[in-house]
Structure 1
Amino acid sequence: MPLRIARAMLVMAAPLLFATAAWASTPVGDHGALKVTGNRIVDSHDKPVKLNGVSFFWSNTGWGQEKFYNSAAVATFARDWNVSVVRAAIGIDGSGGYKEDPVAGRTRAEAIVDAAIANDVYVIIDWHSHHAETDPQLAVDFFTAMARKYGHTPNVIYEIYNEPLREADWKTTVKPYSQTVINAIRAIDPDNLIVVGSPTWSQDVDIAAADPVTGGNITYTLHFYAGSHKQDLRDKGDAALKMGASLFVSEWGTVNANGDGDADAAETTRWQTWMQANCLSQANWSVSDKKEGASLFKPGASATGPWTDTDLTPSGLLVRDILKNASTSCNGD
């Protein structure tokens, strides 16, 4: 082909290429800033929205899964798995946690947030602890820094307490802690979503809904593992919704609550049906190649992707198929 003809064809094709790029649909591009209206999360067009995605494993140094905290992994999930949200589970306690190494913890959080913004998906910044109430100032300082850096973006969602334990009292312990952190975030970022945990590993959403924290654009996280949690936990979720609370399933698994065991496909389907009916966003646990049932990947899988069927665990295959067929529309459109 003569060079002048090739150049002419390229010039003619360029507007189409630019137009295609401009029209590309992305989760944040489609929905914009999120807010809570009644017991629903809605988008910038006031339409109910349901995010679908994955949660990274504890970010702790030396635990083996921090390798997944990279931009390429987020890009692969966004491109190949149809995710609209990723969750950075910033491990606070234990060896290699944020308390011990805050620089590494913040670096990993920012790696996931920056990658989510670059890929135009939502991102949950998760204070991944079971004892956060013992040091509220540490959380205040962290979320203050995150709000200052990212509060202007519509992508960011703050999860201020992953899973308070069963013995943590809502009224005297978890609620005051949550209110303190909420107030610190709201002093900088007035409107991005804040996700609040509740006692019993974020299952007591009905107790929290009966005595809610103060503030707007607040949603409560409900965590479940299909191998252990059945209709009785869905009943607690229904009770919270009836009281007017918004719910967000920021962590769920196909297996037992200890993270191991076989994937319970039948109960996972029941949970998916319930979440769709109630327009609840979800993030699956976990982006990991640890040898346990909840891991998406088999040991030795690439930390960046792309991933093939042979890289995935039974749970990973099930979750990938759920996500690839999921919609952000609550009507399934």
Structure 2
Amino acid sequence: MPPAGTPAAVNGRLKVCGTKLCNRYGKPVQLRGMSTHGTQWYGRCVTPGSLDALAGDWRADVLRVSTYVQEGGYETDPRKYTDLVHSLVEQATARGMYVIVDWHMLHPGDPYHNLDRAKTFFTEIAQRHRARTNLLYEIANEPNGVTWSRVRSYAEELIPVIRAQDPHSPVLVGTRAWSSLGVSEGADESEVVADPVRAANIMYTFHFYAYSHRDAYLAVLSRAADRLPVFVTEFGTQNYAGEGGDDFAMAQRYLDLMAAKKISWVNWNFSDDHRTGAVFKTGTCAAGGPWTGTAPLKPAGVWVRDRIRTPDDFPTS
């Protein structure tokens, strides 16, 4: 169980209520936290010390555990990567954080390619952790190159598999065109509004990178959040590859909108990758820290840590 007084203990099991994510008292909440990078590459960045810093120094209330399916991840050693998720769920819970179990499918973009693997993975995760009150399941990171109806059909096949083990935890459904609610492939949220997933206690994911994804994307997020339960499970202040310069002004516009509409968010990423979107300076993880304060952080890390720590100090629209 999460320790008393921590976010996961205070708010308890979350549930979707209308277009919001609500705590056990039915009050809308906004989670703010970080996503790991792919654990096949950057597992050394997710340690007891770094998680202590994330929960204590950063005051994050959610950790997204990104398990890549391809790219040297889960499919190469399902036992290893499933056990790693078990461990990180337990460690985050011990620090009072919520955990998003992210099935990080990316290439190929059709989630059906990994349906059987997903059923195996989520069955075990949900069975092992069904009694926990701090889990959310993200079943398809960034579907791309496929129709919304195919993504919806995948969700409707996988969600009952999870529900058979864990009837209560929210499920986060990826949207098409790299979880852009369709906008990156010329559509928008209306296709989801018109043809939603036939399941309860679910949310739809939206990803953005502020340097690349500007007013049109912001408008889609704003409209969608009035009609659908939306969770921003990945964002950055850089371009869509998590590289290049930081556009903190555009990112702040997103954060203001998300604060005003109680949209939960997770930043990409809690590693020391060479890209500007990784919060730690290169070499930090190999050296085993330091993890706290701003000294080990790149500019994007300093910015997002400030906004996780002191959300009320920043304006809301």
Q: Same fold (TM over 0.5)?
A: yes
Partner residue in 2 for 1:5? none
Quick check: which has more Rg, 1 or 2? 1
Deviation, structure 1 residue 305: 4.4
Aligned length: 301
Deviation, structure 1 residue 23: 10
Whole-Å separation in 2 of the counterparts to 1:85 and 1:305: 21
Kept in 1, the 8 Å contact 2:290–2:296? The answer is no
1:135 maps to 2:120: no
1:119 maps to 2:90: no
Which residue among 249, 257, 260 is the counterpart of 2:243?
260
Q: Tell me the C-alpha RMSD between the 2 structures.
A: 1.9
Partner residue in 2 for 1:211? 195
Q: What amino acid maps onto 1:27 in structure 2?
A: P
Distance 1:238 1:299, change over 3 A: same
Partner residue in 1 for 2:128? 149
Deviation, structure 1 residue 101: 1.2
Whole-Å separation in 2 of the counterparts to 1:127 and 1:196: 10
Q: Secondary structure at the match of 2:311?
A: coil
Give me the TM-score of the superposition, normalised by structure 1. 0.86
**Deviation string, structure 1 residues 147-194 (Cα, Å, up to 9, x no partner):** 1011211111100000011x21111x2111111111101111111010
Q: How does 1:1-333 map to 2 (within 5 A)?
A: 25-60=5-40, 63=41, 65-95=42-72, 97-130=73-106, 131=108, 132-165=111-144, 167-171=145-149, 173-204=150-181, 206=189, 207-243=191-227, 245-302=228-285, 303=288, 305-326=290-311
Whole-Å separation in 2 of the counterparts to 1:298 and 1:238: 33
Deviation, structure 1 residue 234: 1.9
**Deviation string, structure 1 residues 26-45 (Cα, Å, up to 9, x no partner):** 10111101001110111001
Q: What amino acid maps onto 1:149 in structure 2?
A: R
Whole-Å separation in 2 of the counterparts to 1:67 and 1:111: 13
- Further displaced range: 41-50 or 98-107: 98-107
Q: Secondary structure at the match of 1:123?
A: strand
**Deviation string, structure 1 residues 103-149 (Cα, Å, up to 9, x no partner):** 22112212210111101110000000123321201101100101101
Q: Secondary structure at the match of 2:269?
A: strand
Deviation, structure 1 residue 307: 3.0
Kept in 1, the 8 Å contact 2:3–2:95? The answer is no
Q: Secondary structure at the match of 1:298?
A: coil
Q: What amino acid maps onto 1:312 in structure 2?
A: L
Q: Secondary structure at the match of 2:28?
A: coil
Q: What amino acid maps onto 1:314 in structure 2?
A: P
Kept in 1, the 8 Å contact 2:34–2:267? The answer is yes
Name segments (4+ residues, structure 1) moved above 3 Å: 302-305
Q: What amino acid maps onto 2:201 in structure 1?
A: N
Kept in 1, the 8 Å contact 2:222–2:257? The answer is no
Distance 1:310 1:23, change over 3 A: closer
Kept in 2, the 8 Å contact 1:70–1:304? The answer is no
Distance 1:180 1:261, change over 3 A: same
**Deviation string, structure 1 residues 222-274 (Cα, Å, up to 9, x no partner):** 1011111112112222332333x100011110111011011111011101101
Q: What amino acid maps onto 1:45 in structure 2?
A: Y
Whole-Å separation in 2 of the counterparts to 1:154 and 1:253: 28
Distance 1:159 1:304, change over 3 A: farther
Structure 1 unaligned segments of length 5 or more: list them: 1-21
Q: What amino acid maps onto 1:268 in structure 2?
A: A
Whole-Å separation in 2 of the counterparts to 1:214 and 1:240: 17
